[in-house]
Amino acid sequence: MSVSQSKPIKRLAFVLNQTKREAFEMLGRLRTIAEANGVEIRETHEFPVPEGFLEGMDACCVIGGDGTFLSVASESTERQVPLIGVNRGTLGFLTTYSAEEIEALFPSVLQGSYNIRSRGLLECRTEESHWDVALNDVVIKSASVSRIVHLNVFADGEFVTTYVCDGLIFSTPTGSTAYTLSAGGPLIHPEARVISLTPICPHALSNRSIILPESVELRVENAIPNGQLVVAVDGQRNLSTSEDSSISIKLSPKNLPIAQKVDYSHFNVVRRKLKWSGGYAGDPT
């Protein structure tokens, strides 16, 4: 997922999470800068954004947290409109511009001073013909909160194992800093083309995360159909499925374009936001 050519922004969409503190004020300041540069503006605070909202746009500025960013990912992928994430949430792994940075850099961003990096997505389907894409993860659990699941996993038709656990997390590299990290999954560089599989609270000490290649097609079946499963996509949308149907997961042929700072560093973000360290007390940068 190499860096793509950026271009000046003449048509810009704003997506605002109005529940975030100071989001309206930020929108007002960025709108003023955009209008002063002759940029055509479109705005919404609907989640998810209306279908076709990004049609004809050069970029979309998302003001909120990672949840707001995730809610726009599907429309952005469909229209191939780069997302500019402005963090008004907490950690902000996806909304990588801080409030201070975006105000200082916004005029140059509008002139094309940014890099476009593509992020891989997971494509998930159920036998009921329900379909969705995930930027972070697909999580399979029992519809009953207190019940463990017995899930058979197949990779390209080959039986992997039966997981007895609270659920399974299938994650993109982008999602490796989200739910799967809390479940003990690995940190994966966002440009890697892999899928990680991590069991949630497994009932076996030997169960660990598995890293699978980009070409793999995964299938999950309920080994003991004693209740309905929930398939959660990016923690925001659920796909319905019956207790005896299978679930298919693979990397999507489409990627999500993200507009990032020219000097963006993935490892700097991980060190700063996760307080991650290899043991060295200083930072040579």
Condensed to tens digits (0 to 9), the pLDDT of residues 173-192 reads: 999 999 999 999 999 999 99
Q: Answer whether residue 196 is part of any domain.
A: yes
Which residue range(s) make up the domain with 82? Answer: 3-114+261-274
Please count the helices (runs of H) and the strands (runs of E) in the chain: 5, 17
Q: Are residues 79 and 203 in the same domain?
A: no
Q: Where are the alpha helices (DSSP H) in 14-122?
A: 23-36, 66-79, 99-110
Rounded CA gap, 176 and 173, in Å?
5
Distance between CA atoms of residues 30 and 100, nearest Å? 11
CATH number at residue 195: 2.60.200.30
pLDDT at 107: 96
Within this chain, do residues 85 and 140 fall inside the same structural domain, yes or no? Answer: no
Residue 145's contacts (CB-CB under 8 Å, 6 or more residues apart) are: none
Which residues touch 10 (CB under 8 Å, ≥6 apart)?
38, 39, 40, 58
Query: What's the mean pLDDT when you consider all of the chain?
Result: 90
User: Do 176 and 222 belong together in one domain?
Assistant: yes
Distance CA 13, CA 102 (A): 15
Q: Which residue do the tokens 């080994």 mark?
A: 223
How far apart (Å, rounded) are the C-alpha atoms in residues 108 and 96?
16
Same domain, 144 and 64: no
In a domain, 76, yes or no: yes
Sequence-separated (6 or more) residues with CB below 8 Å from residue 85: 62, 66, 69, 92, 94, 95, 96, 97, 258
Tens-digit pLDDT profile for residues 190-233: 999 999 999 999 998 888 999 999 999 999 999 987 778 899 99
In a domain, 94, yes or no: yes
Q: Do residues 79 and 177 both lie within one domain?
A: no
16 shares a domain with 101: yes
Burial of 37 by CB count in 10 Å (0-12 exposed, 13-18 middle, 19+ buried)?
A: middle
Q: How confident is residue 40, by pLDDT bands cut at 50, 70 and 90?
A: very high
Q: Do 17 and 103 fall within a single domain?
A: yes
Provide the pLDDT for residue 99.
85
Residues 15 and 96 in one domain: yes
What average pLDDT score do residues 42-47 get?
92
Task: Check residue 280 and give its pLDDT.
Answer: 57
Q: How confident is the model at residue 281 (pLDDT cuts 50, 70, 90)?
A: low
Reference 235, options 154, 141, 95; nearest CA is 141
Same domain, 265 and 248: no
Our count of domains for the chain comes to 2
Confidence of residue 13 (pLDDT cuts 50, 70, 90): very high
Average pLDDT over residues 81-90: 88
pLDDT band at 1 (very low <50, low <70, confident <90, very high): very low
Confidence of residue 90 (pLDDT cuts 50, 70, 90): low
In the chain, the amino acid numbered 177 is T
206 C-beta neighbours (distance < 10 Å), count: 6
Looking at the chain, how many residues does it have?
285
Res 243 pLDDT > 90: no
Tokens of 144: 């009953």
155 plus 78 within the same structural domain: no
pLDDT at 58: 98
Is residue 66 flagged as an active site residue? yes
> Does residue 282 belong to any structural domain of this protein?
no
CA distances from 260 to 115, 219, 249 (A): 5, 34, 28
In what helix (H) or strand (E) does residue 97 lie, and over which residues does it extend? Answer: none
Q: State the Cα–Cα distance between residues 265 and 99, nearest whole angstrom.
A: 18
- pTM of the model as a whole: 0.91
Name residues whose C-beta falls within 8 Å of residue 144's C-beta, 6 or more positions apart in sequence: 227
Separation in Å, CA 164 to CA 28, 55, 124, 160: 51, 44, 21, 13
* CATH code: domain of residue 64: 3.40.50.10330
Region 22-49: mean pLDDT is 94
Which has the minimum average pLDDT: 86-100, 125-139, 150-164?
86-100
The H or E element spanning position 137 is: strand 137-142
Give the pLDDT mean for 268-283: 73
Q: Which of 58, 66, 132, 166 is catalytic?
A: 66
pLDDT of 25 over the 70 cut? yes
* Whole-number percent of the chain with pLDDT over 90: 68
Residue 82 domain-assigned (yes or no):
yes
- Cross-strand pairs, 154: 159, 219
Reduced to 3 states (helix: H, G, I; strand: E, B; else coil), residue 151 is: strand
